[in-house]
Amino acid sequence: MKPSRFRIFSTDRYRITLPEGHKFPALKYGMLHQILQKEGLFHLEASPLAGREAIALAHDEEYVTAFVAGTLPQPVMRRIGLPWSEVLVQRAFASVGGTMSAALEALEHGWGATLGGGTHHAFRSEGAGFCVFNDIAVTIQFLRSQNLIRRAAVIDLDVHQGDGTAEIFQDDPDVFTLSIHCESNFPFRKKRSSLDVALADRMEDDAYLAHLEEVLPAPFAFKPDIVFYQSGVDPLASDVLGRLSLTPEGLIRRDRRVFEAARRHGAPFVLTSGGGYSHPIELSAQAHANTYRTAWEVFSKANPA
Ligand SMILES: [Zn+2]
């Protein structure tokens, strides 16, 4: 029996089909699932579907209803960038359910993880950039509605700004949002996070890590009751939608710093995956796998069985 604290959640059973040449790396999730399953560090579980009431804590009901029914106007679906299907609807609910489950694990065992989530471009009343619902925003609102937490912090290291998350929480004094991203990249109209670090194109490992080091204490100094990590691997040099030049080792160092800071602080920690669009896509799947392995190394040391 695997110890229950290493349960992680996966949306792999909901496989969307996309037209040839589509930019969304649907295959990556299956690859990541397979790599981690083979290694046996984690007990992979299907993400439960989030409830409609939970989703509505962070999104307009009208948007949720129209998305479920497949009646969103074409321009709105185009901004999401994925063709509507029943499976897409299930996957969107499962993706939020995975993050909610990981957060409940984190509150109980110190950390939790989901192989998905980090859909940070979703706003209150519309999706964008392959993001339908904002899983982290929904989860924070859900945990607060249950009086399980008061304050939360979001550390978003995807190469793209966490604009949806920033906007949803822009006037919320109990949520701290940090986004470190590439300045010239999507989204072209940035929102204001509590703390934004906009990096120049083609930045490499050491310079990137110096920026991270400088701002990483801030979300912890906020004294959050829970910390969410959007661990996008699209800062990799091989990423076709990123513009930074990190190596796989640089990303491991990045993740280790975040995990060790969380461990030192002791706040429950939730790991979500975020973006990754390397060519070939195996490089993104491998980089995501490194993130989960590194988390296991750092957090299992913190909580020996
Ligand atoms: Zn991204």
Domain CATH number, residue 215: 3.40.800.20
CB within 8 Å of 153: residues ≥ 6 apart: 175, 176, 177, 178, 219, 220, 222, 224, 226, 227, 228, 267
CA of 3 to the centre of ligand 1 (A): 32
Dist. CA 226 → ligand 1 center (Å): 23
Looking at residue 4, its pLDDT comes to 45
Q: Which of 59, 221, 222 is nearest to 139 (CA)?
A: 59
Is the residue at 19 inside a domain? Answer: no
Residue range(s) defining the domain that contains residue 205: 4-11+24-302
CA of 274 to the centre of ligand 1 (A): 6
Residue 18 lies in a domain: no
Tens of pLDDT, residues 40-65? 999 999 999 999 999 999 999 999 99
Q: How far is the CA of 161 from the centre of ligand 1 (A)?
A: 8
Q: Please provide the average confidence, as pLDDT, over all residues in the chain.
A: 95
- Write the pLDDT tens digit of every residue in 261-293: 999 999 999 999 999 999 999 999 999 999 999
Is residue 115 a part of any domain in this protein? yes
Distances (CA, A) of 2 to 108, 188, 196, 270, 295: 16, 44, 39, 20, 17
Q: Is residue 88 a part of any domain in this protein?
A: yes
* Domain assignment of residue 17, yes or no: no
- Residue 35 falls within a domain, yes or no? yes
Give Cα 198 to chain centroid, integer Å: 19
Number of domains the chain is built from:
1
Widest Cα–Cα separation across the chain: 51
- Centre of ligand 1 from the C-alpha of residue 244, in Å: 11
In angstroms, what is the span from residue 298 Cα to ligand 1's centroid? 24
Calculate how far, in angstroms, residue 119's C-alpha sits from the geometric centre of ligand 1.
9
Distance 304 CA to ligand 1 centre (A): 33
CB 242 within 8 A of CB 236: yes
Residue 124 lies in a domain: yes
Within a domain: residue 82? yes
DSSP tag of 118: -
The proportion of the chain whose per-residue pLDDT surpasses 90, expressed as a percent, equals 93
129 CA → ligand 1 middle, Å: 8
pLDDT tens digits for 237-258? 999 999 999 999 999 999 999 9
Measured in angstroms, how far is the CA atom of residue 160 from the centroid of ligand 1? 4
Q: How far is the CA of 300 from the centre of ligand 1 (A)?
A: 28
DSSP conformation class of 12: T
* List of E strands, the chain: 7-10, 43-46, 111-115, 152-156, 175-182, 195-199, 226-230, 269-272
> What spacing in Å lies between the alpha carbon of 234 and ligand 1's midpoint?
6
Give distance in angstroms: CA of 184 to centre of ligand 1: 13
